[in-house]
Structure formats: C-alpha cells, structure tokens
Amino acid sequence: MADYVFFLKNVLMVSLAMNMGLIWKISYDDEDNITTSIQQKLHFHPLYFNRQNERQHDDDEAYVTKRTQMLASLESVVINLDHGDPTMYETFWKQKGEETTVVTSSWQHISYFSDIKNVCWFLEPGLVSAITRLHKVVGNAVTEGRHIVVGTGSSQLYQAALYALSPPNTSTPMNVVSAAPYYSSYPLMTDYLKSGLHKWAGDAYTFNKEEPYIELVTSPNNPDGFTRQDVVKGDKGILIHDLAYYWPQYTPILSPADYDIMLFTVSKSTGHAGTRIGWALVKDREIAKKMTTFIEINTIGVSKDSQIRAAKILEAVSDSCNQKEAESFFDYSYKLMAERWKKIKAAVNKTQLFSLPNFPQETCSFSGRTFGQLPAFAWLKCEEVDDCESFLRRHKILTRGGKHFGASTKYVRISMLSRESEFNLLTERLPAIIS
Amino acid sequence: MADYVFFLKNVLMVSLAMNMGLIWKISYDDEDNITTSIQQKLHFHPLYFNRQNERQHDDDEAYVTKRTQMLASLESVVINLDHGDPTMYETFWKQKGEETTVVTSSWQHISYFSDIKNVCWFLEPGLVSAITRLHKVVGNAVTEGRHIVVGTGSSQLYQAALYALSPPNTSTPMNVVSAAPYYSSYPLMTDYLKSGLHKWAGDAYTFNKEEPYIELVTSPNNPDGFTRQDVVKGDKGILIHDLAYYWPQYTPILSPADYDIMLFTVSKSTGHAGTRIGWALVKDREIAKKMTTFIEINTIGVSKDSQIRAAKILEAVSDSCNQKEAESFFDYSYKLMAERWKKIKAAVNKTQLFSLPNFPQETCSFSGRTFGQLPAFAWLKCEEVDDCESFLRRHKILTRGGKHFGASTKYVRISMLSRESEFNLLTERLPAIIS
C-alpha cells in the first residue's frame, strides 16, 4: 500500500510539473512587450504553476490509467525554481491545529489605528510581543531599545528605510549600494519610480565616490548564502541590514545582531509569504518615524488581519521551541534544509558540469549544532558554460541568472524552498544533464 | 435601568474623549521637526485616541464616582474628526455572527501566488467573485470586460495607476491634476518620492499646459461630497476615477460607472479600514499588467488574509441585500448617514457662523429612494472667520483645513464616519460656539 501511495504521489508530481510547464508556456507566449523587461527582473508573474490544478486533478485512478503517457513526458516537464516561494514548510504547519488557527469576526480590526502611543501607530501590540519574544528565544537580534516598524513584507520596509535615510532636500539622489552578488530586486526597488531621493549605484565593492551612500548588507546573503559585513570603507555611509535569512534553519546563529536598521520577514522565517508581513528593528526614533511616514503615504498602514495572523504564528514558533514533547519549528526546518542540501550536493557531485559554494562550519548558539550554511538558495556555478541560466532552461530548469545579481552569467540562483515534488525533479535532472 | 446604562455610556464617552484629548496633547508636544510637515498633511499619527483606553477603563463604578470632575471637563475635551476612520459601521458588524467570521489555519495561503492565470497573479479568486457580485447587486460599476487589480488599500492602487500611466522614458514627469477641492493626500502621494515619472500639477480647473496629463476624478468628491466629471478640456488627458464613495449610503446610484480605471476600497464601502484592501476595475489589459507590476515591486502582492476576509465581508453585504427578514448593510448605513446629516444640519442651522453645501435630490437606482448626497465628510464653511481650522481647534474640534485640499481656509473637512460618541459631541458643541 505504501508503495502504491508513493507511486501515486510520483505520478501526481509529474502531472503537476506538466501543468506547470504548460501554464508557463501559455503565459510565456502571451508575454507583452511593454513590461517584459521588468517582469524578467521580477521573475514573478508568468513563470509559476498553479496550485489550483492540484485540486482539480484529485482522481487518482485517472492518473494511474494515464501513467504511461505521463512518464514519457517527464523529460519535457519545466521545473520553475526561479523565485523563492517558501512553500516547503507547509507540511509542518499542516500538523498544527487550533493553536495556530486565527478566527476573525467582521467587527474586529476595522480602524486604521492599532496603537497611537507607538511610533508605528498601525502596529498591532500582539505582534510587538510576538516579535520581541521570538528574537529573545532564538537569540538572533537585539530588540531592547529598538522601535519596531511593521511593513507589507520587508520589500516595503526596504523602500521605507531608503525614504527615511535619504535627505529630502539635496540636489542629487543618495547612492545605494550592495556587494555583488546582491539581491536582484534591490536595483529595481531603488529606481522604479526614478526617485530624486535615491539611486542605485551598483556593487559596493566598486563604489569609490566621495559622496554619502546607503549600503545594504544582506546576511546570510541572497543569492549565495554567505555571512556578510559591510564592505565600503567610506565614512559617509549608512547601513541597512537585511536579515531575512538570519534564522537557525539557514545559518548557525552566532550572536544577537545589533545594528541600526535590521529587516526581517515572515516569508522566509516561517514560510508565510502570502501574509505579507515584515518588520524592522530600528534604533533611532526619528528614522522609525520617517519609515512609518513612508508606509502611511504608501499604503496607509499594514493589514491588521495579517499582523494578527503573523503574531499567532510567531508565538507558535516560540512555543514550539519550549516544548519537549514535539519537534520545534526550527528543528523541523533545519532537518529539511540539511536533507535538501545533502541531496543537491550529491546530485551536483555526480557531474563535472556544476559546483556549489563551500561554507565554514560554525556552532549555532540556538541549537548547539555545528554546521555550515544551509541557504534558501543554491548559488550554482556552471563550470563549462558561460550562460548557465539559458543552459539550464534548455534542460527545462528555470533559474535566475547571475547577471540579475550583478554577477557572472556562469552562476544561477536556484530556490531551495519549493515543494518536495519540484525539488526532487531538480535533484534527479541535474546529474542527468550531459551538456 | 435603561437610563442608568445611557448615563454610563455618556460618562464613558466623556472619559474617552478626555483620553483622546490628553493623548493628542502628549503626542502633539512630542512632535518632531523633521516629519512635522508631512505628518500635518497626513493628519494621521499624533491625532487620534486609542481604543485600548476603552478596554482599560471598563470599571463602570469608578466612572460614576468620578462623574462630577469628568462632566466639568467636558468643555476641554478635544474631538478629533480630522481623518476619516470609518468606525461608524462597527455596530452593524457586531450584529453579524458566524457568516462573516473568517477562520484561517496556519498552513493556508502561504504562497506568494493566488492565480497565475490572472493578470493580477496575487488576486484571490474568491475576492474576484465577491467584487463582481457586489457591483452587480448595487449597480454602481461595470465589471464586464474589466481586469480587477487588488491593492493594499486604494492609495496603493492610485500610485500603481500613476506608474502605469506615466511614460517610462520621457524627460519631464507626467502632470497630475484634480479639481479643487481635491483629496488632500493626492499631492503627497504623487510627489513624496520626487519621482521622475509624475508630478503634482495642482487644480485641474487652472491646468492649461499643452502637455500630457492625468486627471483624477473623485466622485462623490472628497472633501465636499459633490458628484464630479472631468474638467480639463485638453485632448492629451488620461482619467483615473476614484469611486471610493460611490455607494448607496453616501449618494444616489444613478447608473453603473463605466470608466477606464475605477478605484474602490473596503475602507469606505464596508468600513473595514484596518483590512487595507482596495480594488481597481481596469479596462485595458496592459494598464492592469503595469499596475500589477507596481504592486509586485512595491509590496510583492497583497496580503491574502485580508483578501479572504474582504471577500467574506463583501459577500455578506451582497447576501444582506437579498434577505428580506433582516436589514441590509446599505439600509443600515444609509439610515445612519441620513440621521447624522440631519443632526449636523440642525446643529449648523442654530448658528450664523457656519454653512454646509446643498445637494440636489436624485433617485437611487439601487434603493429607489430619492435623496441628496450624504457625504462621508462635512465640508463646513466658516462664514465670519478666515482660518476655520484654527478657529475650530480653539474650540477643541480637530478638522482638516481647506488649504490641504487646494481650497480656501474658510473651509474645513469634518469626518462623518466616527463612532457615535465623537459625533454627538460635535453636534452639541457646534451650536454652542459663539465666536
């Protein structure tokens, strides 16, 4: 029976991947000219498979009868690991019951306001407690003496920080830099409105202007997973620390981060990307106020429903770390990441075509485990091909090429956070590629 | 007993208003220099009373013993009717039970994606149905042949529309105009990032450049409640219709609006401002795609939790219109608005100091009722005073002055959507003002 279920799962996986490929093709053919450039940078809209198809095709028998055709189509299936949709933790959350369920009556949370005593007046008090508690439990960031600013995801907070840090009345826009390879959305988010406040100034390693600048430090880094420090040696810099991946399933926690502006998000910490909640820990009150002002103008606050839900989920994560009878969220997610990295390394080692970064082993102060980074993305290098993204695309693996990150086209970024079916297809296909 | 409860409610009301005043004072004294200008334009952060105080002070007896002091303080209480926090429908929603309650498990809605077949890939299918159905039930907008784009409130959609309509590669930013008095946040939302794409060009009545422009048509208008058409007579214009108040509690519905870009929001239609959900009905597919791209870059989509909740609430509103045994949402809200307008007109008529606009009577195709506008804001004119906002502030009534709307300082905008206690204080205080 177990074998039969396993077989069905595999057939379902193939069918899903086929749907994904077909939808990708339909969407791709339909792509418009006007927005192609930005869509390609974002990598969002046309390149994803629809979970609705999963629900439509729930007749197992029908699949069994069609298995011959489906298995024959396996090689033509497109795997989309271009973006980092964090669906891999869904299984953990499915095990959780009422303690993580949110019930909202229609009369609740109807006001724009959450707590006018707070600098960030649209921040729900319950979320403040949950964030503060979780950082204390994990030991990954200092919250004492910080103002919390909530955002519609950390992307909004990044833009809020740029707004807060850029002088309003200068003749030239503020330079914004980050060491390559940098997160591919930073240049776009900085420049899409052609703001007179700030402009993307590229790779921090090559920035040598005698002008004020903002340096983004992403640690662990997206796309390559390395621990980072600031690299510009000027004295006119302001730092923003993007710590979206500074959680114990991705990296050994070494000490509580203690920077001026630190960005976090539930998208990568707990896997709730659809909830669109990020938070900033901000030392300076005036900066926190200006970030709040940005969000006031941009979206008049942040959805209360999602704040309430995020609070419940963060509390559940903290609770899970204190329970001995059940596996904690970070134990579960660490083991899943470790297993996936083991599999992808094994797949890559079967061929001479690719390589992956090596990370030093360090001891995590949270878990006590000693391990190297387990990044949310694999920063894969093609050893023999110049355009790795196109090369993999010809083999039906969609990734994001190095050029989007200010790096060589020999590199691609591959999401490690997909559902199991897609990840398994990847690790089967990589070693099967000959050239 | 009923009298006693009524007395307690009144004392509580006074206490709340006192809290509001005290908090306002503390916040106001603490106001910073850097952001004062923008905060004053936004009128959000420091000028609101905190509902938490309502919960803290639930010991009725304590209030009764202190009633003498409190009643003595009545005249010094600050009423804040500056912003349009739509809390007045809370009572209606409190009557609703399970049918409007949303239950969300922690594993649901975890992906960034909702429906990749849709131009707006982060739009929940349930919200599409709910929006389409409600517009059909009310008859206030054409949805056939339209793309729906969801936003984190209609503010984000306004900015998305500007982004979509402004050519990306011109040397001068696109002119954005609206007939005065216009919504006070339009200039700020257009210019806060000093965008090279668009710039605020002021009152549409005075715009006479031979250049392309975007004209915002808000109908019914914020702040004055009048029905509007576009006013610029140029041939290079593109229109955005902000129809946030085109609902049958505020205005007679005359026909389904049939414009290229129409903006709506749950904030004003159902009173769920904390949910931050707006929607645009967009005729042109390319414009809808570019608006979607803006929201991708700005916030990587819109919170699913709030979309699910908004869908449930909009469905409940449609359901209520089809039930004969219970009062529909629009019957309830129309009666409430009609009652408040009767009260404020009576209050204003007791003095020669103020006046209010007069609206023509028309027949609503939805309700069959014949009535004049019942705007969400009272556009009050001081007949004898030049600075009406300061004048009323001296009488402890916080309003938004005409200059913020591109109009005379003899006018102020007063929210009609507050909770009952604040509104009642207003109608008691206005006729008591002598000079």
Q: Which residues of A touch B46 (CB under 8 A)?
A: 116
Residue B191 lies in a domain: yes
Q: Is residue A293 domain-shared with residue A186, that is, in the same domain? A: yes
Q: What is the pLDDT of residue B98?
A: 82
* d(CA A89, nearest CA chain B) in Å: 8
Enumerate the residues of chain A whose CB falls inside 8 A of the CB of residue B272.
Answer: 106, 109-110
How many domains does chain A contain in total?
2
| Residue A169 counted as domain residue | yes
Please check whether residue A390 lies inside any domain of the structure. Answer: no
Q: Are residues A372 and A415 in the same domain?
A: yes
Cβ of A305 within 8 Å of Cβ of B300? The answer is no
B68-90 residue pLDDT tens: 455 545 566 899 999 889 999 99
Q: Which helix (H) or strand (E) holds B240?
A: strand B237-242
Please tell me which of the candidates B42, B46, B193 has its beta carbon nearest to residue A195. B193
Query: Strand B147-151 vs strand A400-401: parallel, antiparallel, or unpaired?
Result: unpaired
**B112 shares a domain with B34:** no
Q: Which of B299, B313, B418 to mutate to test the interface with A (most CBs of A within 10 A)?
A: B299
Of A300, A322, A344, the last residue of a domain is A322
> Does residue A28 fall inside a structural domain?
yes
By three-state DSSP, how is residue A198 classified?
strand
What are the pLDDT tens digits along chain B (435 aa)?
444 444 444 444 444 444 443 333 333 333 333 344 455 555 554 433 333 333 333 444 454 445 545 554 556 689 999 988 999 999 999 999 888 999 999 999 999 999 999 999 999 999 999 999 999 999 999 999 999 999 999 999 999 999 999 999 888 999 999 999 999 999 999 999 999 999 999 999 999 999 999 999 999 999 999 999 999 987 889 999 999 999 999 999 999 999 999 999 999 999 999 999 999 999 999 999 999 999 999 999 999 999 999 999 999 999 999 988 889 999 999 999 999 999 999 999 999 999 999 999 999 999 999 999 999 999 999 999 999 999 999 999 999 999 999 999 999 999 999 999 999 999 999 999 976
Taking CA–CA distances from B266, the nearest residue in chain A reads A110
Q: How far is B224 from chain A (nearest CA, A)?
A: 21
Residues B249, B303 within the same domain = yes
Q: What is the pLDDT of residue B434?
A: 78
Q: Which domain holds residue A211?
A: 106-322
pLDDT digit string (tens) for A113-128? 999 999 999 999 999 9
What beta strand segments (E) does B18-153 contain?
Answer: 79-80, 102-104, 147-151
pLDDT computed for residue A69 by the predictor: 57
Assign residue A22 the CATH number of its domain: 3.90.1150.10
8 Å CB contact between B291 and B161: yes
Choose the closest CB to B116 out of A23, A39, A309: A23
Looking at the structure, tell me whether residues B172 and B288 fall in a common domain.
Answer: yes
3-state secondary structure of B212: coil
Task: Label residues A92-111 b or e (16+ Cβ within 10 Å = b).
Answer: bbeebeeebebebebbbbbb
ipTM score over 0.95, yes or no? no
Spell out which residues of chain A touch residue B188, defining contact as CB-CB under 8 Å: 297
**B429, part of any domain:** no
Look at residue A433 and give its three-state secondary structure. Answer: coil
Same domain, A185 and A45: no
Shared domain for B15 and B149, answered yes or no, is no
Shared domain check, A39 and A118: no
Q: Examine residue B154 and state whether it is found in any structural domain, yes or no.
A: yes
Q: Which chain B residues are closer than 8 Å to A271 by Cβ?
A: 110
Q: How many angstroms separate the CA atoms of A434 and A430, rounded?
A: 9
**β-strand partners of B278:** B151, B265
| pLDDT under 50: residue ranges of chain A | 1-37, 45-61, 63-65, 68, 72
Task: Point out the domain boundary residue: B306, B322, B338.
Answer: B322
Closest-approach residue (CA) in chain B for A103: B103
Same domain, A213 and A283: yes
Domain boundary among A322, A345, A364: A322
On whether residue B420 sits in a domain, the answer given is no
Both B243 and B113 in a single domain?
A: yes
Is B371 within a domain?
no
Q: Are residues A178 and A280 in the same domain?
A: yes
CATH number at A118 reads 3.40.640.10
Are B106 and B28 within one domain? no
CB-nearest partner of A306 from B197, B296, B306: B306
